[in-house]
Amino acid sequence: MSAPEIHPQAVVAASAKLAAGVKVGPYAVVGEEAELGEGCVLHPHAAVGGPAKYGRNNVFYSFCSIGGDPQDYTFRGERTELIVGDGNIFREYVTVSRGTVKGGGVTRVGHENFFLAYSHVGHDDQIGSHTLFVNGATLAGHVSVDDFATIGSFSVVHQFCRVGRYAYVGACTVIVQDVLPFSRVVTERETKSFGANAIGLERKGFSKERVQTLQRAFRLLNRSKLNTSQALAEMRKQFANSPDVQELMLFIEGAERGIVK
């Protein structure tokens, strides 16, 4: 494998160690005591800190910050570490913190994990292999996530919780207790439509008559005792001359996953 390729506008600390085949893009930063294994790639503006050891073929996308100081009030600059395996992908704005002395001093990430944009791994977390962190998934400190688990978008996991193997945590879920292996967990949530966006439509130049017509159509759709098909039939009778309601009906008829009512 070829020697490391470091862009002239990248910053690599003197104590950093880069194995063969590492590529460091423009404005990327490799911090003190960061060790990058063969084939790692830093895209422009990626930041990889240390003390940390990164295995082979990890990919760090722009503006991620991996191996930074732990976000903990008690941290006073002690020497703590991050240990990362092989083949992980850290997308834009992902953050992974090193450990703390009180938590064992080491954050660990296994192999072939996929961290989507804005996901966060807190200090002293222990991440297995083949996990998926969807956009905005957030772990507090001292959390363990076992192999093949999925943490859904914008879900948060409380400190010291465990997520078992093959578990699936659905989007926007708050985890405050351990998640069993092989389980599917999601916060109950009910999303409702509250009718026409009257103020917003008026601000966009809709006349009062257009807004009132849409409000009547939405009342028929959401507040009557008619099901969706029956409501559409009635809307065709009452609002045949309204292009806005016609557009609304066409949209409903084209819904493949149902509509929010």
Catalytic residues: 123-124, 141
The string of DSSP codes covering 197-228 is -HHHHHHTT--HHHHHHHHHHHHHHHTSS--H
- Nearby residues of 84 by Cβ (< 8 Å), 6 or more positions away: 52, 53, 54, 55, 58, 66, 96, 108, 109
DSSP 102: G
> For 99-249, where are the E strands, in sequence order?
106-109, 114-115, 120-121, 126-127, 132-133, 138-139, 144-145, 150-151, 156-157, 162-163, 168-169, 174-175, 184-185
β-strand partners of 54: 36, 84
